[in-house]
Amino acid sequence: EIFNEELEGSFEGVGMEIGIRNDQLQVIAPLPGTPAEKAGLRSGDKIFAIDGEDTLEMSVEDAVLRIRGERGTTVTLTISSDGLSDLRDVDVVRDTIRVDSVTWEIKDGIARVRISFFNGDTGARWREAIQEMLTSGAKGLVVDLRNNPGGLLDSAIEVAGEWVDGRPVVIERIQGVDQPMSGSGRARLADLPTVVLVNGGSASASEIVAGALKDYDLATIVGETTFGKGSVQDYQELSDGSSVKLTIAEWLTPNGNSIHETGIEPDVAVEFSLEDLENGLDPQMDAALQIINGTYDFSPETQNDPASS
């Protein structure tokens, strides 16, 4: 039921994706505008307790059930950003979380599209955004996948297909057998200068999109290395209305590079500090706009080698 609520885009909770890395429960990404983001939770924050209950032996599913709850109630998370040295309690008031998966604006001839989550509405909203940017004659596109924790694989493939066309978007490796999965889009964006913004909260399906565009040299990836959640999850609805969520395979980029645990490195590394956030600055978006406008200073220390097989 919880997984279905996420895919439908509405649930009651604090609005963040969590996972386990190195045996520690942690925040993958807070969704924009949610109680989790407003409380100051950030990608990579470690969760040591939920309402006083130690998370050491807690599964992700159990943690989600404890964090979710009725709108207006409070959950207390014991958080550390850098280990055990700065443990602090963060009280977060639950709310109804509505995930508008795709939002966009066109400003100064550049389309800025924010994809917050890949759910059942993403494809239709994405097509609306494309139609508007093509009609307006946009000269460039910034796709913001920061703090996008993933979602539906099919939605990610549909999004990438508007650049990649019929080529593989991602490779699924199941028990050692590789299965390329191709997009069905019309590659309407293949010639449009594109920058994709990513950070440590970009995971799973968002890494598939970034990885494909990076491998095919169809976009410049800007920001910070992504989370590295390269697993394939599927769910099946049971007769009682519940669903079983299963991890069944591994994701590779079109060039055969593993996403799991390593993530996608940006072509242009730009940090976004807490100080930037507090001052209302966005150096990553600034860099993206400068790249499209041809005014960015490509110094060697900001660039990484393109992904290769």
Q: How many distinct structural domains can be found in the chain?
A: 2
Say if 307 falls within a structural domain.
no
Do residues 93 and 106 share a domain? no
pLDDT of residue 197 exceeding 90, the answer is yes
Domain boundary residue, one of 66, 98, 130: 98
User: What is the tens place of the pLDDT at every residue in 221-262?
Assistant: 999 999 999 976 666 777 887 777 677 889 999 999 999 999
Most confident of 76-85, 168-177, 233-242: 168-177
Mean pLDDT along residues 285-293: 98
CATH of the domain at 32: 2.30.42.10
**Statement to judge: residues 25 and 89 lie in one domain:** yes
Mean per-residue pLDDT, 117-127: 93
pLDDT band for position 304 (50/70/90)? Answer: low
Residue 145: inside a domain, yes or no? yes
The answer to whether position 109 is within a domain reads yes
Q: What is the CATH number of the domain that holds 298?
A: 3.90.226.10
Q: What is the pTM of this model?
A: 0.80
Instruction: Give pLDDT, residue 82.
Output: 78
Q: What is the mean pLDDT of residues 186-200?
A: 96
Return the higher-pLDDT residue of 233 and 103: 103
In this prediction, residues 160-174 reach a mean pLDDT of 94
Question: Are 153 and 241 in the same domain?
Answer: yes
Three-state secondary structure readout of 267-292: CEECCCCHHHHHCCCCHHHHHHHHHH
Mean pLDDT of the chain: 90
191 and 270 part of one domain: yes
Task: Determine, yes or no, domain membership for 309.
Answer: no
CA torsion angle for 130, 133, 134, 136 (degrees, to 10)?
160
**Same-domain check for residues 110 and 150:** yes
- Domain end: 98, 119, 141, which one? 98
Decide which of 90 and 234 is more confident: 90
Supply the DSSP string of the chain, one letter for each residue. Answer: -HHHHHHHTEEEE--EEEEEETTEEEEEEEPTTSHHHHTT--TT-EEEEETTEE-TT--HHHHHHHH---TT-EEEEEEESSSSTT-EEEEEE-EEEE---EEEEEETTEEEEEE--B-TTHHHHHHHHHHHHHHHT-SEEEEE-TT---B-HHHHHHHHHHHHTTSEEEEEEETTEEEEEE--S--TTTTS-EEEEE-TT--THHHHHHHHHHHTT-SEEEES------EEEEEEE-TTS-EEEEEEEEEE-TT--B-TTT----SEE----HHHHHTT--HHHHHHHHHHHT-----GGGB-PPP--
Chain centroid to Cα 114, Å, comes to: 10
| Residues involved in catalysis | 204, 215, 229
Which pLDDT does position 306 carry in this prediction? 42
Q: Final residue of a domain: which of 98, 124, 148?
A: 98
Q: If pLDDT is split at 50, 70 and 90, which confidence band does 184 have?
A: confident
Task: Using pLDDT thresholds of 50, 70 and 90, give the confidence band for residue 185.
Answer: confident
Determine the pLDDT at residue 53.
97
Question: For 2-59, how does the pLDDT look when each residue is reduced to its tens digit (9 = 90+)?
Answer: 555 565 667 899 999 898 888 899 999 898 889 999 999 998 899 999 999 999 989 8
Residues 81, 11, single domain; the answer is yes
Query: Which domain range does residue 20 map to?
Result: 2-98
- In this structure, the answer to whether residues 73 and 138 fall within a common structural domain is no
